């Protein structure tokens, strides 16, 4: 196990607009506000065509081959994640969302491109 201690500083309430891509928009925001580490909560709608990573094709195989799921219609979403720097010190958003429509739900990572449907609210705790 590895750990570090942090103290909460700034809190941002962000409203994403229709058509914005969740990870691209939040990573740009983090760069503009010098955010290198944060916790993230997201709530709103994901548009049809949004892409989720829904697991590796095979458990503990190498290389890891991600599976992708494309949302076929608008879905309600709730998600939680983090922002941490990559090897080049760029802030990277890592959020998993549960996305539901009618009686079905799918959960996955937003890295492939989740497109906002109408509005998405993000709370960023820095």
In a domain, 1, yes or no: no
Cβ-proximal residues to 96 (8 Å cutoff; 6+ apart), any chain: 79, 80, 81, 107, 108, 109, 110
As a whole number of angstroms, the distance between CA 115 and CA 49 comes to 8
**What per-residue confidence (pLDDT) applies to 81?**
98
Q: Is residue 34 pLDDT above 90, yes or no?
A: yes
Give the model's pLDDT for residue 26: 98
Q: Identify the pLDDT of residue 6.
A: 87
Answer yes or no: is 3 within a domain: no
Domain extent, residue 111, equals 11-125
Burial class (CB in 10 A: 0-12, 13-18, 19+), 60: exposed
Q: Which CATH number do you get for residue 71?
A: 3.30.1330.80
Query: Which residues are bridge partners to 12 per DSSP?
Result: 124
Q: Is residue 32 part of a domain?
A: yes
Summarize pLDDT for 55-79 with one digit per residue, the tens.
Answer: 999 999 999 999 999 999 999 999 9
Domain count across the chain: 1
Query: CA angle at residue 58 from 73 to 109, to 5 degrees?
Result: 40
Confidence bin at 47 (pLDDT 50/70/90): very high
Q: Would you say residue 29 lies in a domain? A: yes
**Structure confidence by residue, pLDDT tens digits, 16-33:** 999 999 999 999 999 999
CA distance 90 to 85: 5
Q: Which two tokens stand for residue 121?
A: 């609210």
Query: What pLDDT score does 54 carry?
Result: 97
The answer to whether residue 105 scores a pLDDT higher than 90 is yes
Asked whether the beta carbons of 50 and 118 are under 8 A apart, the reply is no
**Euclidean distance between CA atoms 93 and 16, whole angstroms:** 15
């Amino acid at each position: 196990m590895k750990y570090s201690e942090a103290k909460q500083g700034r809190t941002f309430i962000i409203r994403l607009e229709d058509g914005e891509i969740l990870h691209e928009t939040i990573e740009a925001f983090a760069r503009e506000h010098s955010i290198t580490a944060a916790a993230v909560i997201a709530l709103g709608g994901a548009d049809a065509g949004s892409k989720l990573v829904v697991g590796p094709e095979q458990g503990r195989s190498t290389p890891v081959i991600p599976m992708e799921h494309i949302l076929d219609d608008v879905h309600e979403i709730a998600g939680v994640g983090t922002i941490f720097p990559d090897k080049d010190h760029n802030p990277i958003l890592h959020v998993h969302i549960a996305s539901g429509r009618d009686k079905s739900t799918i959960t996955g990572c937003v890295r492939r491109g989740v497109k906002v449907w109408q509005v998405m609210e993000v709370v960023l705790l820095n």
